[in-house]
Amino acid sequence: MSISSAHEFHYRTALGPLSRTAALLTLVGVMALLLADIEIISPEPGLELTRMGLGLLSPRIPDQYVFVEALLNTLSFAFQAMALATLIGFLLSLVYRLAVVRAFCAFIRGIHELFWALIFLQVMGLSTLTGVLALAIPYAGILAKIFGELFEEVSPQPRNNLLVADHISAFFYTTLPLAWRSLCAYCSYRFECMVRSSVILGFVGLPTLGFYLESALREGRYQEGAALLYVLLLLIATLRFWLRRALLPVYLLAAFLLLPPVVEVSWDGAWRFFTVDIVPAPLRNNSQAQLWSWLTLLWQQQLQPGVINTLILGMAALLVTAMFALLCFPLNSPHFVRGWSRRFGDAFLIIGRTLPEYLLAFVGLIVLGPSMLPALLALALHNGTIVAHLVGRFSESLSLRQDAVRGVNLYFYEVLPRMFRQFLALLLYRWEVIMRESAILGMLGFATLGFYIDSAFEEFRFDRAALLIICSALLNMLADALARYWRRRLHLNTTPETL
C-alpha cells in the first residue's frame, strides 16, 4: 500500500495561457450551443435535398441575355467598389495610427454590406451607386486595417537610415515598396470576396447574379440555381487567370461604361433620410418625454433578444467552426494526404470558402427549416474551410522526424500541438467576421439582430433600424477588440493575407 501510494498517478494538467483561452472559448461555445435553437424543423428534408441534388446534376440556363447581364453587373459592381474601397482604404491606412481612425474603420466594417445596401436603397434607390457604396464602405474599413497593419509590420530599417526627410517621401520610398507585395496579394484575395459580396447584394434587389439565384432557390427552380451557382464558382476559380494587372484599367473602364455610377434621386431624399427618417420617433414628434419609454420598449422587444441571439449564434458558430477546421485541415496537409487526394481535399475546402455563408444559410433554411441550425452550419462550413485551408497550408512548414508516428497519433501528438498556436490565431482573426455574419443572417429569419433590422426597414422605421445597426456595429467592434487583445497577450501573430 505504501509503495503504491509512492507511485501514485499524479499527473496534473497544467493549463498554459493558450489552452486556457481555448478552454474558455470552448466553454462559452458549448453553453451557446445548449441555448441555441437547433432542431431540424422540416419533417422531410430528404425530399427537398433530392430535388436540389437533381438540380445540381442538370443545371439549366434560363435566359441567356438576363444571365449575361447579371454576370456583367456582378463584375461591374465588384470592380467599381474595389477601386473605390482600395482608394479610401489606402488613404485611411496612412493615418491608421490614430485611435479615432482605427475606431472609425472598425465601425464602418462592423456594418455588413447588406445593411449598407439597405441604407443606401433608401437614399438612392436601385441605382449603381447604391451597390458600389454598399460594397465599398465596409471593404474600405477592412482594407484600411490590413494596409495599416502591413505598414506597421514592414522593416523599420530602411526608413531609419534616411536623413530627416518629409513623411510622404519616406513613405513612398520605403514603407510602401516594402509592403507592396503583401498589399497586392491581399487585394486580389479581397477582390474574390468582393465578387461574392456583389452576388449577395442581389438578395436585396440589385441586379446581380444573386437576384436570380435568390428567386430560383426560393421557388425551388434548382436547375437554374445550380447554373448560377456554377457560374459563380467558375468565376472565382478562374480569377487568377483573368485578373491580370495589365488588364485592370480595361476592366475598370468597362465596369464604368456598363454601370455608370449615376444617382437619379434628388439630394433632398438623402438629406431627409439622415436628418428626419433616422431621428428617433419621439424626438421627431417633439415628445422628448417619451424617448425613454421608446428606448426601453425597443430594448425589451428587439435589441436585447437580437443581441443575445447574435451572441449565441456567433459563439456557437465559432466553436463549430473550430471543430470543423480541426477535422478538415488534414485534407490540405502533406502529412496526411498526398498528391491527387490532397488536391481533391483542398478543392473541397476552396469550394466551401467560395460559397457565401448567406447563400449556404439560405439553402439550409429551405432544407432544414427555420431554426438556428442552418445558420450555424453555414457559418461553420464557410469559415471552417477557410481556417482549415490555411492551417493545412501552414503545416507544410513543419518538418517531422523520419520515424514519426502515423495517422491519428501523428495528428494528436505531432501536428496538432505545433499547429495549435497558428490555428487559434486564425480563429480569433475570423471571430469578428463570424459575429458580423451572425447578425446579418437574421435577415433570412433567424432571430439575430439582422431580423429586427430587416423588419425595421420593412416597416419604414429607420430610426429603429439605425439604432439596431449601430448596436450590431458596436458588437463587432467589441469582438474585434477582444480578439486583438487576446492575439497580443498570447503573442499570436499571423499574416492576415487571406483573412
Partner 1 sequence: MRLLTVLAALLTSLTFSFSTVAEGFRFTAIPDQDESQLQARFGKVARYLERELGVPVTYVPVKSYAAAVTAFRNNQVQLAWFGGLSGVKARDLVSGSRAIAQGYEDQFFKTYLIAHHSSGLLGQSTGDKFPKAIQGKTFTFGSKGSTSGRLMPEFYVRKHLGQAPDKAFDRVGFSGDHSRTIALVQSGAYAVGAVNYKVWERALADGKIDRNKVDVIWQTPAYPDYQWSVRGDVDQRFGAGFADRIQSVLLAIDDPELLEAFPRQSFVKADNDDYRPIRDTAVTIGLIDG
Partner 2 sequence: MANEAGVSQINPSVTDAQTGAQRARTSGEVIAQFKGQTLYYQDRPVVRDLNFSIHAGERVALVGHSGAGKSTVLRALRQQMQSECAWCPQDAGLVPMLSVYHNIYMGALHRHGVFYNLANLVRPWREPWQQVRKLSVELGLEHLLSQAVEQLSGGQQQRTAVARAVFQRQPIFLGDEPVSALDAFQAQQVLEFICKRHDSLVLSLHDTGQALRFCDRIIGLVEGKVVLDTPALDINQSDLQALYQ
Helix (H, G, I), strand (E, B) or coil at 138: helix
Q: All 3 cell numbers of residue 49?
A: 435535398
| 458 is a contact residue toward partner 1 (CB under 8 A) | yes
Q: How far apart are CA 230 and CA 350, in angstroms?
A: 14
Q: How far is the CB of 248 from partner 2 (least distance, A)?
A: 18
* Burial of residue 323 (number of CB atoms within 10 Å: 0-12, 13-18, 19+): middle
- Which of these, 379, 389, 284, 257, lies nearest to 326 by C-alpha position? 389
Binding mask 23-52 for partner 1 (x = CB under 8 A): ------------------xxxx--xx----
Report yes or no: 77 and 208 within 8 Å, Cβ to Cβ: yes
| 247 is a contact residue toward partner 1 (CB under 8 A) | no
| 292 is a contact residue toward partner 1 (CB under 8 A) | no
> Which span (86-94, 107-115, 119-127, 149-157) binds partner 1, by CB under 8 A?
119-127
DSSP 188-205: HHHHHHHHHHHHHHGGGT
Residue 221, CA distances (Å) to 57, 61, 71, 213, 226 in order = 13, 11, 19, 9, 9
Q: How far apart are CA 413 and CA 404, in angstroms?
A: 10
Out of 3, 6, 262, 408, name the contact with partner 1 by CB under 8 A: 262
Out of 51, 269, 348, 416, name the contact with partner 1 by CB under 8 A: 269
Within 10 A of 4 (CB to CB), how many other CB atoms are there? 8
- Which of these, 436, 340, 349, 437, lies nearest to 390 by C-alpha position? 349
Nearer to partner 1, 423 or 457 (CB): 457
Q: Maximum CA pair distance of the chain?
A: 91
Q: How far is the CB of 264 from partner 1 (least distance, A)?
A: 5
Sign of CA dihedral 155, 173, 136, 63: negative
> Which span (1-9, 85-93, 179-187, 209-217) binds partner 1, by CB under 8 A?
209-217
* Burial of residue 149 (number of CB atoms within 10 Å: 0-12, 13-18, 19+): middle
Q: How far is the CB of 398 from partner 2 (least distance, A)?
A: 27
Q: How many residues bind partner 1 (CB under 8 A)?
A: 48
257 binds, among partner 2, partner 1, none (CB under 5 to 8 A by kind): partner 1
Nearer to partner 1, 15 or 68 (CB): 68
Nearer to partner 1, 280 or 392 (CB): 280
Binding mask 50-89 for partner 1 (x = CB under 8 A): ------------------xx--xx----------------
Q: All 3 cell numbers of residue 347?
A: 478543392
Q: How far is the CB of 455 from partner 1 (least distance, A)?
A: 6
Nearer to partner 1, 326 or 447 (CB): 447
DSSP 224-245: HHHHHHHHHHHHHHTHHHH--G
Q: How far is the CB of 161 from partner 2 (least distance, A)?
A: 5
| 204 is a contact residue toward partner 1 (CB under 8 A) | yes
Out of 110, 141, 207, 364, name the contact with partner 1 by CB under 8 A: 207
Report yes or no: 489 and 480 within 8 Å, Cβ to Cβ: no
Out of 121, 298, 318, 373, name the contact with partner 1 by CB under 8 A: 121
Binding mask 375-414 for partner 1 (x = CB under 8 A): ----------------------------------------
The amino acid present at 106, given as its one-letter code, is A
Q: All 3 cell numbers of residue 395?
A: 503545416
- Which of these, 455, 457, 435, 458, lies nearest to 447 by C-alpha position? 455
Binding mask 160-199 for partner 1 (x = CB under 8 A): ----------------------------------------
Query: Which residues sit at the interface with partner 2, rule CB under 8 A?
Result: 155, 157-158, 160-166, 168-170, 172-174, 177-178, 180-181
Residue 11, CA distances (Å) to 14, 409, 475 in order = 9, 20, 41
Residue 63: which residues within 8 A CB-CB, separation 6 or more? none
Q: How far is the CB of 38 from partner 1 (least distance, A)?
A: 13
Q: Which residues bind partner 1 (CB under 8 A)?
A: 41-44, 47-48, 68-69, 72-73, 121-122, 124-126, 128, 203-205, 207, 211, 214-215, 218-221, 254, 257-260, 262, 264-266, 269, 281, 369-370, 445, 454-455, 457-461
